[in-house]
Amino acid sequence: MANESRPCPCDIGDRFDYEGCGQEVQVEHIKAYVCKPAASTDKAVIVIHDIFGWQLPNTRYMADMLVANGYIAICPDFFAGREAWKPSNDWSKFDDWLKTRDARKINKEAVAVLKYLKEQCGAKKLGVVGFCWGGIVVRHLMMTYAEFKAGVSLYGLIKDSDDISSLLNPTFFIFAEKDDFIPLHQVNLLEQKLKKNCKVDYEVKIYLGQTHGFVHRRREDINPQDKPYIEEGRKDMISWLNKYM
């Protein structure tokens, strides 16, 4: 980490050495990574990147994992051409950088990707998963677009003031017990609000002993003690999509 005094909400963790099985395409004003299964399908999942952007190999690895489970997967550049964060950047400028990448102001990109999936890929059943910054985007999309039949938000940062009770379709929330950036009291408050007001299926799950980014930024082969939780998180993500899509 470049500056310990300003930790970032997303430590890059283990950067996967992974090239991906898909291809990069142009979707209106943005670029995207797309991968399709060998067998024809009308199910597609949008995979939303973290602060390190759409080209991070880890996120493409997650997309290809979904493809291996029978889904079309697309990982668009929701920063719309603006630079992703780099671990070597000056962390003291992170807050200013983040202000120009509002996770709730991505409707133009979302509409373009939905159109592409429907018209170019023949998708009829749509889901969305997102990691960290992308986890916040998932919450926004699941409250905005009824087309998404299932959503999985992985360790998206939350504030005490956040209320996401107006979810339109089933949403699964993955959190880590030892996440330095998402205190458990915030997770509990989120769950209380959902329990009180949410009208659709949801689940909030906390993975014991895990830290921020564990599902997509930790390699199970070099973190054997965490392997069961990494695998469980990935399996749970896919099971949720399978159930509701």
Residues labelled catalytic: 132, 179, 212
Question: How would you list the strands of the sheet with 23-27, edge to edge?
Answer: 23-27, 30-35, 72-76, 43-48, 125-131, 148-154, 171-176, 202-207
String of b and e for 197-236 (b: at least 16 CB within 10 Å)? ebeeebebebbeebbbbbbbbbbbeeeeebeebbeebbeb
What six digits make up the tokens of 212?
């921020």
What six digits make up the tokens of 213?
């980014």
Q: Is 78 exposed, middle or buried (0-12, 13-18, 19+ CB in 10 A)?
A: buried
What six digits make up the tokens of 50?
């973290």
CB 127 within 8 A of CB 150: yes
